[in-house]
Amino acid sequence: MKYPKLRELKEAIRALIKGPYTSKFPYEPHKPAERFRGRSEFHQDDCIGCGACAQVCPAGAIEMKDERGKRILTVNWNLCIFCGQCQANCPTSKGIMLSNEFDLATTEKRSELKQEIKKELVCCSCCREVIAPKEQILWVARRLGPLTFGNASLMLYYLGSMGLAGKEEPSSKEEELSRFDRIKVLCPRCRREAVIKS
């Protein structure tokens, strides 16, 4: 018969006196460590809808779709590996953050293990191509301060959001771009074309 080693006896006695090392998780709530990486969550007010989180997600847990003038960002918690790349690469540092919540087990449908937010998109006045989400443009304008006025599209949209610029009517695709069109919210391709033609 093999006798236990002294170290094993010491551990057994310590466990009898102090109790088990494990937590009583299903019966009592477990409090994770302060820097624990749990479920990732979008914060509607802080997210600018840029999609940086979707581009850096190694597991493909964050999806980005543009449809009908809206950008839809969806985080699927059943695919998330809690790496924290989305939080680390968020320009605002608060748009998507990892919480301490780790208990994501469910007996319901897997489709409920997700969070979705929608952001309004700004489109080109001429070709109707998507430029960026409205909140992203305003965030960039606020960060640039007076340098905003170096970009006509950025300046016009920023001033328009404050009610200081007139509302422009979208032009049709058949119309040829003229010098006047340079003072509109345009995508880079249409702006280049308007500058060359003027």
Please determine, for residue 167, whether its predicted confidence score (pLDDT) is greater than 70. Answer: no
- The mean predicted confidence, pLDDT, of the chain is 83
Q: In sequence order, which residues have a C-beta less than 8 Å from that of residue 126 and are 6 or more positions away? A: 170, 171, 173, 175, 177, 181, 184, 186, 187, 190, 194
Decide if pLDDT at 93 tops 60. yes
Name the band, by pLDDT with cuts 50, 70 and 90, for residue 90: very high
Average pLDDT for residues 145-174, to the nearest whole number? 73
Residue 174, pLDDT above cutoff 70: no
Highest mean pLDDT among 30-34, 82-86, 149-153, 155-159: 82-86
Residue 100 CB neighbours (<10 A) = 14
Domains of the chain: 35-121 (3.30.70.3270), 124-198 (no CATH)
Structural contact between residues 47 and 96, judged by C-beta atoms closer than 8 angstroms: yes
What confidence score (pLDDT) does residue 188 get?
83
**3-state DSSP assignment of residue 55:** helix
> Is 171's pLDDT higher than 90?
no
Per-residue pLDDT at 75 exceeds 90 = yes
- Is residue 152 predicted with pLDDT exceeding 80? no
d(CA 71, CA 65): 6
In the prediction, which pLDDT does 20 show? Answer: 73
Q: What is the mean pLDDT of residues 145-157?
A: 83
Read off the DSSP letter of residue 168: P
Predicted confidence at residue 11, as pLDDT, reads 83
User: Would the pLDDT of 177 be above 80?
Assistant: no
pTM of the model: 0.74
pLDDT digit string (tens) for 9-29?
888 888 888 877 777 777 888
Q: Tens digits of per-residue pLDDT, 43-53? A: 999 999 999 99
